[in-house]
Amino acid sequence: MAEAGKSLAYHARHEKSWVTATAEQDNPPTFAEVNEDVVRSIVETGPGYWWILGVTVVLTFLCFFVPWFYQLEVGLQASGMNHPVVWGTYLANFIFFIGLSHSGTLLSAVLHITNSSWRKAIYRSAEAMTLFSLMTAAMFVMVHVGRVWFVHWSTPYPNQMGLWPNFRSPLMFDVMAITTYLTASWVFIYMGSIPDFAAVRDRTSGWRKKFFTIWAMGWRGTHREWHHLSQAYTFFAVFVIPLAVSVHSIVSWDFAMSIVPGLHQTIFAPYFVCGAIYSGTAGIVTLMWVLRRAFKNFDRYILPIHFDNLGKLLLVLSLIWTYINICEIFTGWYSGSSGEMEMLKFRMFGFYAPLYWEMIAFCAFLPLLLISKKIRRNLTAMLWISIAINIGMLTERFIIVATSLPRQYLPDAWGFYFPSTVEFLITFGSFGIFLTLFLLFVKFVPSISIYEVKETLPEPRPKGEN
Amino acid sequence: MTISIRSALEPAKRALQFIGALLLGAILGFYGHGWLFPDTTPVQPIEFSHKVHAGDNQIPCQYCHIYARRSTSAGVPSVNKCINCHKSMETTSAELDKLFAYWREREPIPWIKVHDLPDFVYFPHKRHVAAEVDCAECHGDVAGMARVSRVAPLQMGWCRDCHKKNHVNNGQQCSTCHK
Amino acid sequence: MENPHKSLKAKWEENRRPGYYQEYENHWGMVIDLDRCTGCGACVTACQAENNLPIVGEENFREGREMKWLRIERYWEGEYPDVKLRFIPMLCQHCDQAPCETVCPVYATYHNQDGLNIQTYNRCIGTRSCAVYCPYEVRYFNWETHVWDEPLEQQLNPDVTVREKGVMEKCTFCVQRIRKVKDRARDEDNRPLLDGEVQPACVQSCPTEALTFGDFNDPESAVSKKKHNDRAYKVLEDLNTSPSIVYLSRVEPEDESHG
Amino acid sequence: MSEDSINRVKRRDFLKLVGAGSVGVGAGAVVSQVSRNPTELLIPYPVPPEEYMPGVDTWYNTLCQGCSARCGVSVRVREGRVKKIEGNPSHPVSRGGLCARGQAGVHTLYHPDRLTGPMKRLDGKLTQVSWDLVLSHLAHEFRQVLATERGPGVAIVTGSARGHLHQLMQEFLRTLGSSRLITYRIDAQHNLHAANLRSFGARATPYYDIANTPYLLSFGADFLTGWLSPVHYSQAFGDMRQGDGPRGYFVQVEPRMSLAAANADRWLATRPGSEAWLALAICHQLLEDGVYDGPDRNQWVERVADYSPARAVEPTGLGADQIVQLAHDFAAGPGLAIIGGGALHGTNGLLAATAVNLMNYLVGSFDRPGGVLANSPPLFGPEAAYSESPYAGLREIVEAARQGRLEAVILHDVNPLYSAPPELGLREALESVPLVISMSELLDESSEVARFVLPLDSYLEAWGDDSPESGVGFPTASLAQPVARRIHNTKSAGDFLIELAHRLGDDIEEALPWRDFQDFLKARWDEIYRTRAGSLEGFDAFWTATLQAGVWGERSAALGAPNTVMIPAALDDLGHPDPQFSGRRAEYPYTLHPYLSPVFHDGRWAHLPWLQELPDPISGVVYTNWIEIHPQTAELLGVRTRDVVEISSPAGSIKLPVLVYPAIHPDVVAIPMGQGHHRYGRYASGRGANPIEIIASRIDEDSGDLAWAATRVQLKPTGERIDFVTTSGNPRPLGRQILGPADGGHG
């Protein structure tokens, strides 16, 4: 392993960042300790874990699947949607989770090709987050459509009917984009984990050994394998970045390509992408905080500097986000069209005004605190800010849907939308899905990249040799 | 040296085999059941033999299915129609007794639909008869069947193929059959 | 006599493929004369009777889940005593450039041989995007599988599919009637359709004859003629959906002449 | 492990695999079984009926019974089931059009709550019995009635019987020695007929040629939904607006904007009940301007001398100049004036109607296209409509019952306990009558007091005929035929009466010798054939021809006298134009303006789901009714839309949610009729309130007709709210070019 660490270290020059990373602590963990810590996070399972897992599973079942099956039975009347507001919470959540999925893979990829080594401790769980939020988002597509039992018709596959999907449809692009992104992210995270699977394989026994043997795909850590890996990995990193950008642009087109006042915005694509990375990054911060707490010794790998760096990123993103919001409002107002004006009036001063201003407060103003290094280094502050940002982003998705559709062109057909209990439950339950998946993840995959962390550590000294 | 998948799969061999068997079985069962017990040949309340009527006695289809030429539905002959012939000929047989029973009660015969299209499909016999499509093209050699059985899949792809083959005007338009 | 300063729309119009509907047999369209329309609602019920629209019940109305392919919108103008009430029947406009058609991922809605914007219920998967994209909000979604109290279901029109939960539906210009008439014409050795031979339920029932239906491809048809009336306009024309329904605005005589 | 060990399978493993496989097979089989479509049956008729072809429509022509206009309709029948009703294009009344009510008529046949068989009240509870039992019972009872004193102890109240059914009822009663046949509808236009009778001595409603009039002045007549013949006059309205001729200008005068007013070019909100004043004032002005110079001019001048526009200002609330202007425009038109609705049902309704006739007369609008055309009286059917008021009839019945002179009452397709003011005391009266028979399609309020409840055929199952009362300008008559087999154990009124007569035997049977109602109809139509339509060879040919066309008429027939002369005496002894109201202004500040709902009319068909789900044309409200009040009034009371107020009049009080209505006179509150049924099927029961319950039983002394627009009310906020549903979103167009290039559009 040690040699392996060196070999990849050789490919990626990182001495500088190594210094910054180690400057954080007086006694950096030795290679052996890394292995132990990470493997422990997998094999040692306290009652607390089981409790949490149990809770999330039950929550998922009761709050997501039970209401969903009920809805399948009685039809979408179980939701609060109506005419003209035919899109509601489900779609908002869909976008939110797609958003959350960004920056996981994206960030990891970007930071990989830019050789910023501080990513190494966090990227694995970040990518996992991508994967799982994408899956949750996919679930929301199922929940959203009226006849989920025919949803496969939206994918191009040869069938006896001789019918194909409509390739002009942004929803069609969506299906494509999301599946591609999901696959790519899956391959990306899996490939990156192979050496760690091997590492765990070599340190566990019983069914785990078998399990990780399969996943390690007979990784032996030869120089050739490392070479293949690093090349493929870099390739995928480059490949994933445009993909990630495209995914949320396309999601935004679902809206932007309509002519509904408030949705028909040329700026939507960058708006959504930026928003996505924004909420995604915030998500990572939350996640890191949790991991750091959850597992013994992880605070030796997830360091304040990571929070610091992400904090900077968040600050930049929040500024971009605010800018785009202003653009959006301005163009609406400047158009002077009655449709836009009424929509804005409803959005900013109507029933959902509190939500709107809450969003502005959480996503535009609160993050400005990150300008101070103290706050960026204060983990608790970071936690709360990141959570606030994601709440804000969730509301943003909701507001986009719930304040545009009720105020369309024909005043006589104006309506109103408020989510039903079922919708609230399912929204709540969806986080259950996400958590459950993640909890399983930390037990089956090294949630910190063993070998890449090692790259950031000083060469093992004889006394630390095991 | 090579990265060997097989050695990787080794420990999961059993499980994989198990799952494989299960799937294989399921597929077998699904299609086997359809093949062994097809629902294309239901048992009718009266063992009416098209073979005898349309086959041996050469009665043209539209002698009984009188509406096919003029309406969307071909129509099943009324009990009255059966009686008209059978009061004079072939008046004695177990099956005919059933028929006469229905007639005495003035009860309709609850025939079981062999060619059953979904309700969202609009299929006019009229058009197809007018286009001189032979009944057998969809219904098969009914004249040879003692008990009628469905030979065509009656699925959309099948309809469209025929429409394509015969260059039917608007034959590929949804709203030609779905309204 | 090229007009140098012609609007973008005009330029677009002429660069657009000529005779959008020539590839189709007809360009069915409707002319609605708001000076004749009294807003009585006969068309609404006629539509409900013809197209198997469900009886949704008061609760669904409260939820905003009514099923009316054709609704009458009412707008107030002015204040008492010079207050005015105006009606406008709103139904699917069967747009040439229908936004709903581009968004449906499964082609459940598209332009058929009659130049109609058709909804194929059994293909619909219920993403409801078409309803979002439609600026006229004339697409209605089946939030549940509606049932009819016995024996009301005996009235259901056998020529029209009864929709199940989860599918979108909307005005079809009574495509089943168009079919029926075309069918008849075909039996009568393929004669061409006569103008006014096809009448959707709403047009047929209208007591004031405010609605006219016909083929815009036929320059001699009543609708083609009325289209050139100087009161003619299309709703939300600036959205460039080019609807197939032409409205004739209501005449507002100057009241000075009369007391 | 080594290579081969992977491929070699041990026995135990093999067994396991086999087990797995068989489990899979089982599962697969089950799945394929359940995924099969349910088997469907093909059930042909044992003996197919005539002209039956599955998958092909048959159209029958018959008559709509939604209101008294009796439009001719074509009914689409498929596989023996009624699918749709459309206007009969060849029928002179409907001319192919049909209103929402007519469309919804299908459900009178298929309504889930229809009575399925005759019922008898045994110790308070209605229990199903057989027709045979009912008939023998009734025969028995009637014989007793006759035995006691073969006097006028029997009465029939009908809501819809017209044409020969009405005659049959008369016959039936006559044989029983009674003449008490009352046709009661709250929407009856008795004052209109009475006024015409006074003015011209003709037993015919003239034909108002709205289609060709250059200037229409309507006094509260909502001819688009509830006046004489809505569909027919709607068509006329369309032609007036965008017909071949120049566009007619249309002014509506009434305290509350009705659908007609909404479609008028100008709406004048006058004080309620002041229409008589306005009409007289206009006549005064017309004479002053010398518009009329007939020989009888002076007689008119003296008769309207007191009603100068100046004096009309106070009662009408219009400016004198406005009235003068109206008169000028009306003369310039020359105009056509019509009257209906509240204007016709005040205490001065007859006077107002007569004054309106005079207006038309003075500008010479009689016998002129675009004016008032002479009309042929109905070929047959109720004459009573012209002479005696239906409400007078009801009061007479109450009187008789109070004095115990009434043995039996048959309520035929009428619901007086709903549609007549309770103050009349009809309920108590009927409860005191020994034998009350209610013939209706559903259990309604009136069947509560009935000892026998007899299920009526839907009009789609029964024979009938009619000669339109409002007329179409030439003699015409239509036939109604059964278009579907009976789906319940019901009878038509005609058949029932004839059968009952047969049970009663001897002279009564001789008086009504016909096999059934159809037989009776044929006998009667045979006369029409002989007297009028001799052209067709053979009655049967005539009969089938009429059945197929649904109507028979003589366009060629000459219309009444070329120049109508109005009887000056018509205006005499008609009392003062000032309206009288029940309830002192101090105590009851607002005038109640009940109006026929555009959707439900008088509520006869409120049980039809399609109508309940048809948004009200003006408010967009479904499934209930409401009280319309002026924004000022709302402010005064501190109520908003949907706040419930208690509306009390001297006659009683009801509760309704408020609808703040921008187009109503501040002194007036309006309530649509038709809702507020206590029991009338699942769709109508318990929705809203019935304004008739608080209408004072006050009459127009001159005609004896119910003055349902002559009640004052007070409003009390209750603090409750009823969240009624309206399909309307934002009521204002926000300048979005929806109604035309520039909102509203300009010709």
Q: pLDDT, tens digit, for every residue of A338-376?
A: 889 999 999 999 999 999 999 999 999 999 999 999 999
Tell me the sheet residues that pair with A465: none
CB-nearest to C112 from B119, B122, B174 is B174
* Residue from the list A82, A146, A170 with its beta carbon closest to the beta carbon of C125: A146
Contacts of A75 in chain C (CB under 8 A): 142-145, 165-166
CB D462, CB D60: distance < 8 Å: no
- Mean pLDDT score across all residues of chain C: 88
Helices (H), A204-303: 207-216, 223-256, 268-294
The answer to whether C137 contacts A84, with C-beta atoms less than 8 Å apart, is yes
CB contact under 8 A, D32 and B110: no
Distance from CA of C191 to the nearest CA of B (A): 16
Question: Regarding beta strands D668-672 and D590-595, do their DSSP bridges make them parallel or antiparallel, or are they unpaired?
Answer: parallel
Flag whether pLDDT at D743 surpasses 80. no
Residues of B whose CB is below 8 A from C113: 170, 173, 175-176
Q: Could you give the count of Cα atoms lying within 13 Å of D443 in the half-sphere of its Cβ?
A: 21
Query: What are the respective helix, strand and coil percentages of chain C, to the nearest 5?
Result: 25, 15, 55
Contacts of B17 in chain D (CB under 8 A): 9, 13, 17
pLDDT of amino acid A88: 92
Relative to beta strand D207-208, strand D372-373 is antiparallel
φ, ψ (nearest 5 deg) of residue A101? -65, -20
- In the three-class reduction of DSSP (H, G, I as helix; E, B as strand; rest coil), residue B157 is classed as helix
First and final C-alpha spacing in chain C: 46
- The count of CB pairs under 8 A between chains A and B is 37
- pLDDT surpassing 50 at residue D269: yes
Touching check for D14 and chain B: CB below 8 Å?
Answer: no
Contact B156 A162 (CB under 8 A): yes
Answer whether residue A116 shows pLDDT above 80: no
Q: In whole angstroms, what is the distance from residue C134 CA to residue C118 CA?
A: 14
Measured between CA atoms, the residue of chain D closest to residue A413 is: D729
Which positions in chain C touch A164 (Cβ < 8 Å)? 107
Position D7 scores a pLDDT of 53
**Phi/psi of residue D312, nearest 5 degrees:** -80, -10
Contact A182, A97 (CB under 8 A): no
Kindly state the average pLDDT of the residues A214-226. Answer: 87
The pair of three-digit structure tokens given for residue D425, joined into one six-digit string: 């005391």
Greater confidence (C111 vs D74) lies with: D74
Residues in chain C: 259
Q: Using alpha carbons only, what angle is made at residue D575 by residues D570 and D580, rounded to the nearest 5 degrees?
A: 135
pLDDT for residue D723: 92
Contact across the interface for B178 and C122, Cβ inside 8 Å: yes
Do the chains contact at C58 and D739, CB–CB below 8 Å?
no
pLDDT at residue D1 greater than cutoff 80: no
Quick one: which of D685, D155, D171, D172 has its CA closest to D437?
A: D155
pLDDT at position C5 over 70: no
Contacts 24+ apart (CB under 8 A), A155-161: A155/A179, A159/B157, A160/B155, A160/B156, A160/B157, A160/B158, A161/B155, A161/B156, A161/B157, A161/B160
Q: What is d(CA A273, CA A246) in angstroms, rounded to the nearest whole number?
A: 8
pLDDT in tens, D575-587: 888 999 998 999 9
User: In this complex, do B29 and D28 lie within 8 Å of one another by their Cβ atoms?
Assistant: yes
Contacts of D13 in chain B (CB under 8 A): 14, 17
Asked if residues D54 and B71 have their Cβ atoms less than 8 Å apart, the reply is: yes
How many percent of chain D have pLDDT more than 90? 54
- pTM exceeds 0.80 for this model: yes
Question: C83-121 burial by CB neighbour count: b if 16+ within 10 A, else e?
Answer: bbbbbbbbbbbbbbebbbbbbbbbbbbbbbbbbbbbbbb
Neighbour-count burial of D188, counting CB atoms closer than 10 A to its CB (0-12 exposed, 13-18 middle, 19+ buried): buried
Distance CA A226, CA A239 (A): 20
Nearest to C160 among B174, B176, B179 (CB): B179
Exposure string for A314-334, b = 16+ CB within 10 A, e = fewer: bebbbebbbebbeebeeebee
Phi, psi of C212 (to 5 degrees): -125, 135
pLDDT > 70 fraction of chain C, expressed in percent and rounded = 90
Which is nearest to D420 in space by CA: D399, D442, D394, D397? D394
pLDDT-derived band at D556 (thresholds 50, 70, 90) equals low
Residue B10 C-alpha from the chain's centroid: 49
Residue D53's pLDDT is: 83
- Name the neighbours of A, counting chains with at least 3 Cβ pairs within 8 A: B, C, D
Is D474 exposed, middle or buried (CB count within 10 Å of its CB: 0-12, 13-18, 19+)? middle
Interface test with C, best of D71, D94, D263 (most C CBs within 10 A): D263
The per-residue pLDDT for C259 is: 41
How many Å apart are CA A136 and CA A434, to the nearest integer?
Answer: 6
pLDDT for residue B13: 76
8 Å CB contact between D348 and D579: yes
b (16+ CB within 10 A) / e for A197-218: bbbbbbbbeeebeebbbbbbbb
Interface partners of chain B (CB pairs < 8 Å, 3 or more) are: A, C, D
Of A282-291, B82-91, C117-126, D180-189, the range with the lowest mean pLDDT is: B82-91
Q: C–D: how many Cβ contacts below 8 A?
A: 250
CB contact under 8 A, D739 and C86: yes
Please write the tens of the pLDDT for every residue from D692-724: 999 999 988 888 889 999 999 999 999 999 999
- The span from the CA of D420 to the CA of A78, in Å, is 44
Q: Is the peptide bond before C81 cis (omega within 30 degrees of 0)?
A: yes
Closest residue to A161, CB basis, from B9, B10, B157: B157
Residues of D in contact with A339 (CB under 8 A): 736
User: Is a pLDDT exceeding 70 seen at residue D558?
Assistant: no
Range A325-349 average pLDDT: 91
**CA–CA min distance A150, chain D (Å):** 15
Say which of C71, C88, C205 has its CB closest to residue D738.
C88
Alpha carbons D457 and C176: distance in angstroms, whole number:
31
**Is the model's pLDDT at A461 over the cut of 70?**
no
Q: Is a pLDDT exceeding 60 seen at residue A11?
A: no
How many angstroms away from the CA of B71 is the closest CA of chain A? 26
Q: Which of D40-54, D306-320, D375-389, D523-537 has the highest mean pLDDT?
A: D306-320
List of chain C residues whose C-beta atoms are within 8 Å of the C-beta of residue A412: 73-75, 90
D573, D564, D565, D563: which is closest to D303 by C-alpha? D573
Sequence letter at residue D370: G
What confidence score (pLDDT) does residue A161 get? 87
DSSP state of C154: G
Return the higher-pLDDT residue of D546 and D554: D546
Contact between chains at D734 and A409 (C-beta distance less than 8 A): no
> According to the model, what pLDDT value does residue D422 have?
92
D18 touching B (Cβ < 8 Å):
yes
Closest CA of chain C from A145, distance in Å: 5
- Which residues between 26 and 85 in chain B have a beta carbon less than 8 angstroms from any beta carbon of chain D? 26-34, 39, 42, 67, 70-73, 75-80
pLDDT of residue A9: 41
CA proximity to D100, closest of B142, B111, C39: C39
- Check whether A335 has a pLDDT greater than 90: no
Please identify which residue in the block is written with the tokens 């789900």. Answer: D613
The average pLDDT across D102-108 equals 93
Q: What is the pLDDT of residues D478-496, one digit of tens each?
A: 999 999 889 999 999 999 9
What is the pLDDT, as a whole number, of residue D746?
41
Q: pLDDT at position C257, please? A: 47
Interchain CB distance below 8 Å, D106 and C258: no
Cα dist from C141 to A67, A416, C160, C162, D601, whole Å: 20, 16, 16, 13, 31
Please report the sign of the dihedral spanned by the C-alpha atoms of residue A217, residue A220, residue A222, residue A227. Answer: positive
Q: What does residue D120 show for φ and ψ, rounded to 5 degrees?
A: -125, 140
How many other CB atoms are there within 10 angstroms of residue A157's CB atom?
A: 8
Q: Which token pair is D746?
A: 């300009």
Out of A323-332, D36-45, D202-211, D669-678, least confident range: D36-45
Q: Do B8 and A224 touch (CB under 8 A)?
A: no
Average pLDDT for chain D: 88
A411 touches chain C (CB under 8 A): yes
pLDDT interval class at B6 (50, 70, 90): low
Cβ of D731 within 8 Å of Cβ of A412? The answer is yes
Q: What is the pLDDT of residue C14?
A: 61
Interface test with C, best of D78, D86, D242 (most C CBs within 10 A): D242
Q: What percentage of chain D carries pLDDT values higher than 70?
A: 95
B81 band by pLDDT with thresholds 50, 70 and 90: confident
For the segment D552-577, the average pLDDT, to the nearest whole number, is: 74
Compare CB distances from C154 to D55, D110, D599 and report the shortest one's residue: D110
Chain A residues whose beta carbon lies within 8 Å of the beta carbon of residue C243: none
Q: What is the pLDDT confidence band of residue C240, given thresholds at 50, 70 and 90?
A: confident
Is residue D559 scored above 70 in pLDDT? no
pLDDT tens digit sequence for A34-82 = 888 888 888 888 888 899 999 999 999 999 999 999 999 999 999 999 9
* pLDDT reading at D744 higher than 50: no
As a whole number of Å, the CA-based R_g of chain B is 24
Helix (H, G, I), strand (E, B) or coil at A341: helix
Q: D42 in helix, strand or coil?
A: strand
